[in-house]
Amino acid sequence: MDIIVCLKQVMAGDRVRFDPQTNGLIRTRESSKINPFDLSVLAMARELIQQAGGSFTALTMGPDISEEVLWEALASGAERAILLSDPLFSSSDTLSTAYTLSMGIRKIGRYDLILCGVRTTDGGTGQVGPQLAEELDLPLVTNVETVALKGDGIGVERTSDGFREKIELPIPALLTISPFYKKYVPSLAEIEEAFSRHEIERWNLKDLMADPNKVGKAGSRTWVEKMIPISQQKVCEFVEGDPKQQSRWLVDQLLKRGFLS
């Protein structure tokens, strides 16, 4: 089985900074990490390869510092890692990101499964996986919790709207993996071995033979118009009286603020 996993490097939640001129994220190596939801994707890919044989390739788009997520993938069992990086890819929304990833996947060639996280912690839209499936004209199931080989296809299970769903679909296919699936974090020894055995491939716009009007800012249909910082101020107020008086005061405050009607 040949698997492609799509990963992303995100900003640590308490270190996010924006450029006031471009309204874009200021990305630095020390403030970045692998998208936490992608750890389940690596675990799923690793387990499927152990069961069915084959190999998996890690793919990401971003600046040079994004190579760190690929080293983590190589340490988790990936046999190949590819970084899609070009200044023209910057300021991509989900649509242009999906297009760029699809061009990378087309260049890779043969695959049975594409695995993505359900969403990222920075954007949180959950759109790239479905948009990528549309770009590649692949069957899609989201929030998958289990995968089993079924003849020439696969069987997957997920929980949706309180129901347990069992779905069979042909391959190739694209799946987004539930964050509740177990995670795999490589050991230091595995990371050291990855650096000694592997190299990261880098592909730019020319390598992908991609349409420059469909990547980066030029290919984006959404953008950040303006960033408005929000300051919060906490005030502690002590309420006197017995429990009934305190409760009455609290209800009055909630009514005044429109939280109760």
The stretch 204-232 carries a mean pLDDT of 87
Q: Is 109 helix (H, G, I), strand (E, B) or coil?
A: coil
Q: Does any domain span residue 26?
A: yes
Neighbour tally for 207: CB within 10 Å = 15
- 244 domain residue, yes or no: no
| Mean pLDDT score across all residues of the chain | 89
Domain enclosing residue 35, as ranges: 2-219
* pLDDT tens for each residue of 34-68: 889 999 999 999 999 999 999 999 999 999 999 99
Q: What is the CA radius of gyration of the chain?
A: 22
Q: Is residue 242 in a domain?
A: no
Q: What percent of the chain has pLDDT over 90?
A: 65
Indicate whether 21 belongs to any domain.
Answer: yes
What residue type is 73 in one-letter code?
A
Tally of domains within the chain: 1
Domain-embedded: residue 214 = yes
In this structure, is residue 156 part of a structural domain? yes
- Look up the pTM and report it: 0.81
Asked whether residue 180 is assigned to any structural domain, the reply reads yes
Q: Inter-axis angle of helices 94-108 and 128-136, to 10 degrees?
A: 50
What CATH number has the domain bearing residue 211?
3.40.50.620
Burial environment of residue 208 by CB neighbours within 10 A (0 to 12, 13 to 18, 19 or more): buried
159-182 per-position pLDDT tens digit: 988 899 999 999 999 999 998 898
Query: Mean pLDDT lowest for which of 11-20, 46-55, 76-85, 145-154?
Result: 11-20
In-domain check, residue 160:
yes
List pLDDT tens digits, range 119-132: 988 878 899 999 99
Buried b (16+ CB within 10 A) or exposed e, 89-101: bebbbbbbbbbbb
Residue 150 has pLDDT above 90, yes or no: no
